[in-house]
């Protein structure tokens, strides 16, 4: 733990700020508290997995791509949710490079394992309509109880910090 703060060495917790990320507009409403009451002055919250993936698009480094692939292999990603949130909660708020982000998301989805990820292009997402399509589809299939958020650790405080 050389080079880490005295606090990190004492408590064996290392936090690193995220300096390059664009979060979906409503991500805070989907944060989940983890280990409630474990600390007196710190609240650990988890980002919903799809919000985390969308926040990784801007950097698009090998590590981000590896993380996304790992989440997909664990069965935690729904590409329709990714597309919808990108279209509704990220893209409209970008000042530039919208097409680049669209392309990155499409390339990530195309590289995911399994045919279930290869669906229509992102730009057609505008035609989809309902904000609750994933839940509605699950209800039609009788599996609505199985639709749950997939938390990924992050810290909410001054600035956004992921672990």
The pLDDT, as a whole number, for residue 116 is 54
The pLDDT, as a whole number, for residue 76 is 93
Whether residue 58 contacts residue 91, with contact meaning beta carbons closer than 8 Å, is answered with no
Phi and psi of 93, rounded to 5°? -105, 0
Enter the tokens of residue 141.
């299939």
Whether residue 55 contacts residue 47, with contact meaning beta carbons closer than 8 Å, is answered with yes
H or E stretch covering 48: strand 44-48
Enter the tokens of residue 116.
């279930």
Domain ranges (residues) in the chain: 6-162
The pLDDT, as a whole number, for residue 104 is 95
Task: List 155's β-bridge partners, or say none.
Answer: 44, 161
pLDDT in tens, the chain (163 residues): 466 788 788 877 777 777 778 999 999 999 999 989 888 888 889 999 999 999 999 999 999 999 999 999 999 999 999 999 999 999 999 999 999 999 999 999 998 876 555 443 333 222 223 333 333 333 334 444 444 444 444 433 333 333 3
From the list 96, 57, 71, the residue with the least C-alpha distance to 151 is 71
The pLDDT, as a whole number, for residue 121 is 38
How far apart CA 60 and CA 132 sit, in angstroms, is 28
């Amino acid at each position: 733990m050389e080079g880490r703060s005295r606090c990190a060495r004492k408590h064996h917790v290392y936090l690193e700020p995220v300096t390059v990320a664009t979060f979906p507009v409503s991500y805070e409403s989907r944060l989940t508290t983890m280990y409630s009451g474990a600390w007196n002055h710190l609240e650990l919250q988890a980002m919903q997995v799809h919000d985390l993936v969308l926040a990784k698009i801007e950097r698009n480094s090998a590590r981000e791509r590896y993380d996304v692939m790992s989440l997909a292999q664990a069965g935690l990603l729904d590409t329709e949710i990714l597309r919808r949130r990108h279209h509704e909660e990220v893209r409209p708020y970008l000042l530039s490079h919208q097409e680049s982000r669209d392309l990155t998301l499409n390339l990530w989805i195309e590289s995911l394992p399994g045919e279930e990820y290869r669906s229509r292009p992102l730009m057609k997402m505008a035609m989809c309509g309902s904000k609750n399509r994933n839940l509605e589809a699950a209800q039609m299939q009788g599996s609505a109880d199985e639709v749950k958020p997939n938390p990924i650790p992050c810290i909410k405080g001054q600035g956004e910090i992921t672990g």
